């Protein structure tokens, strides 16, 4: 794509890499709020996507998105929040009822490898600056299909949250008594200033810029720590805990010496079935009021799965 087309503004979607002709045509309507500078992507076509289908899972083998057997799989989102095949779906397993953490290290590692492969491929595009694998799990937080899967957005710019972290130099709070688990150089912990009652930060002790540059041992250790964290959240509440997870890594455009690969996970629950809402005082100030002491949250997460 020509540089001028990568600017914020109206862009006509290309269907070149779309899975088939039924790909929803869309025009990206990316707006910037003049008051705050926040970017809002208005994606009208998303309203047409299926909501919690009860039959015919599209991600099971034989389904519309997975006609052939697979172990892990990625493909452009049929209802893309971003144009030009810059939004993908990542299937973790062909087993409809599996959980990510229940896949085990060998299969879970395939997901990490796929994240890295897709990051590398999409990151090489002229119209991609930042690749973010993420997962929204559970109907409580808006996941429309229960089959274990995540997504990936390839932004043509570096969004505000990762940009802020990288510009601040990716300064991680030392886990100390908030450490939950570790494998090799990867650790999971509850942040010192956790904004949510139960929140994980997962990062390496030595900086690694991005998924593609993570070595074999690092990928396996990251898999172990990530699956461990997700299992603990399910054990803590004895439920399929709704979670939101995102991967931040060095942007693929520009120079970002401070950027380090890391993952964050939050659950919107403060106890089983009880949502922790961001209330007006928080939304109105961008400051948070957390009713659970992070050190206590870490203890409860450690106790949830004695190892």
* Window contacting Zn ion (CB under 5 A); options: 2-10, 35-43, 53-61, 262-270: 53-61
Question: Is 64 a binder of Zn ion (CB under 5 A)?
Answer: no
Question: Is 59 a binder of Zn ion (CB under 5 A)?
Answer: yes
Question: Is 98 a binder of Zn ion (CB under 5 A)?
Answer: no
Question: Is 96 a binder of Zn ion (CB under 5 A)?
Answer: yes
Q: Output the smallest distance, CB 134 to Zn ion, in A.
A: 20
Q: Do 253 and 129 form a contact (C-beta atoms < 8 A)?
A: yes
Per annotation, catalytic residue among 149, 196, 248, 262: 149
Q: Indicate the residue among 95 and 173 with the shorter CB distance to Zn ion.
A: 95
Question: Is 73 a binder of Zn ion (CB under 5 A)?
Answer: no
* Window contacting Zn ion (CB under 5 A); options: 75-83, 92-100, 205-213, 229-237: 92-100
* Window contacting Zn ion (CB under 5 A); options: 55-63, 173-181, 258-266, 292-300: 55-63
Q: Output the smallest distance, CB 147 to Zn ion, in A.
A: 3
* Window contacting Zn ion (CB under 5 A); options: 58-66, 125-133, 205-213, 291-299: 58-66
Kindly identify the residues of this chain, within the stretch 162-221, that bind Zn ion according to CB under 5 A: none
Identify the residue among 60, 98, 179, 195 touching Zn ion (CB under 5 A): 60
Q: Indicate the residue among 72 and 116 with the shorter CB distance to Zn ion.
A: 72
Q: Interface with Zn ion by CB under 5 A: which residues? A: 57, 59-60, 96, 147
């Amino acid at each position: 794509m020509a540089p001028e087309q990568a600017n914020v503004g109206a862009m006509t979607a290309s269907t070149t890499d779309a899975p088939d002709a039924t790909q929803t045509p869309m025009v990206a309507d990316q707006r910037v709020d003049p008051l705050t500078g926040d970017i809002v992507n208005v994606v009208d076509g998303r309203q047409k996507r299926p909501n919690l289908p009860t039959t015919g899972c599209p991600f099971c083998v034989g389904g519309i998105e997975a006609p052939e057997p697979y172990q892990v799989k990625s493909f452009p989102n049929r209802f893309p929040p971003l144009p030009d095949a810059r939004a993908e779906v990542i299937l973790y397993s062909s087993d409809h009822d599996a959980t990510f953490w229940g896949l085990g290290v060998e299969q879970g590692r395939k997901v990490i490898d796929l994240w890295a492969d897709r990051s590398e491929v999409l990151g090489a595009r002229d119209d991609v600056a930042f690749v973010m694998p993420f997962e929204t799990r559970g109907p409580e937080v808006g996941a429309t299909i229960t089959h274990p899967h995540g997504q990936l957005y390839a932004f043509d710019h570096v969004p505000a949250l990762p940009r802020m972290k990288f510009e601040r130099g990716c300064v991680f709070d030392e886990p100390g008594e908030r450490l939950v688990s570790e494998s090799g150089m990867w650790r999971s912990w509850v942040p010192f200033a956790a904004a949510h009652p139960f929140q994980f930060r997962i990062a390496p002790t030595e900086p690694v810029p991005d998924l593609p540059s993570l070595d074999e041992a690092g990928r396996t250790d990251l898999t172990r720590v990530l699956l461990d964290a997700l299992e603990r959240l399910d054990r803590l509440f004895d439920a399929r805990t709704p979670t939101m997870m995102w991967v931040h890594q060095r942007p693929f455009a520009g120079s970002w010496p401070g950027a380090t690969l890391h993952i964050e996970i939050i659950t919107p629950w403060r106890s089983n079935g009880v949502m922790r809402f961001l209330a007006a005082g928080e939304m109105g100030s961008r400051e948070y009021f957390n009713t659970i002491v992070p050190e206590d949250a870490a203890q409860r997460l450690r106790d949830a799965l004695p190892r």
